[in-house]
Structure 1
Amino acid sequence: MNLQIFGTKKCKDSKKAQLYFQERRISFQFINLAEKEMSKGELRAILGGAITLDTLIDTESKVYVDKNLKYMVYDKEETLLANPLLFKTPIVRDGKRATVGYVPEIWKIWIDETKK
């Protein structure tokens, strides 16, 4: 597994995701979105399947409210890349597969697949 966890240090679900993998002794790279923006390539690798730009936007975030995005027409990809705190977190990525939010039931499947 080549795991990346995108989140923030203040996000409870990001902390829970890190703890989930630490308890299972699975190494991961934590990317703090408060300090480092996601690259366009990373974003494109996450998109696909059930994950869309709409899925990634945290409509309850301070950034979403402050920028009044509910009532605006905007380029979702560019806005996410320019405002990393607009992402719903945690985003857990293993290669081309990814999840948004705390979803240990899917991560367990990933772990079980690597053991085969």
Structure 2
Amino acid sequence: MIQIIGTKKCKETAKAIRSCKERSIAFQFVDLSQRTLSEGEWRSLFSAYDAETLIDESSAYYIKEGYAWRSFDAAQELAEHPQLLKTPVLRYKGKVHLGYDPAILTAWGTL
């Protein structure tokens, strides 16, 4: 089962969910506004991507809180403020992909 991590407000996350529904691919949606990620989920993300890569520099929270002008530990800030995370994050059997990609969803859905 594919895990889609994001928020209901994110258009790219909505595309990933819709794509799975249209292709009858089993998925689990994790809404970051409802639930935080576990330590294992964060480790999985950080092993696949550098923490700085996972930060959405165009997010309203990033801009509002002035992250562009301060120095910070990206991994710690992501764990404390998941609204900084680029979404969607797709996870499947230890594999992680950042962003909506219909080819990845189709490939993982047929495995």
TM-score (norm 2): 0.90
The aligned counterpart of 1:58 is 56
> What secondary structure does 2:3 align onto?
strand
Q: How many residues align?
A: 111
Counterpart Cα distance in 2 of 1:63 and 1:7? 15
1:11 positional shift: 0.7
CA contact (8 A) 1:37 1:82 kept: no
RMSD (Å) for aligned C-alpha atoms: 1.4
1:76 positional shift: 0.9
Unaligned runs of 5+ in 2: none
The aligned counterpart of 2:40 is 41
CA contact (8 A) 2:16 2:100 kept: yes
1:34 positional shift: 1.1
Question: What are the superposed Cα offsets for residues 16-36 of structure 1, whole Å, 9 maximum, x if unpaired?
Answer: 100111111111111111111
Counterpart code for 1:35: Q
CA contact (8 A) 1:39 1:81 kept: no
Question: What are the superposed Cα offsets for residues 52-83 of structure 1, whole Å, 9 maximum, x if unpaired?
Answer: 21221100111111221112111111100111
Counterpart Cα distance in 1 of 2:107 and 2:53? 21
Counterpart code for 1:61: S
The aligned counterpart of 2:31 is 32
CA contact (8 A) 2:26 2:109 kept: no
Unaligned runs of 5+ in 1: none
The aligned counterpart of 1:13 is 12
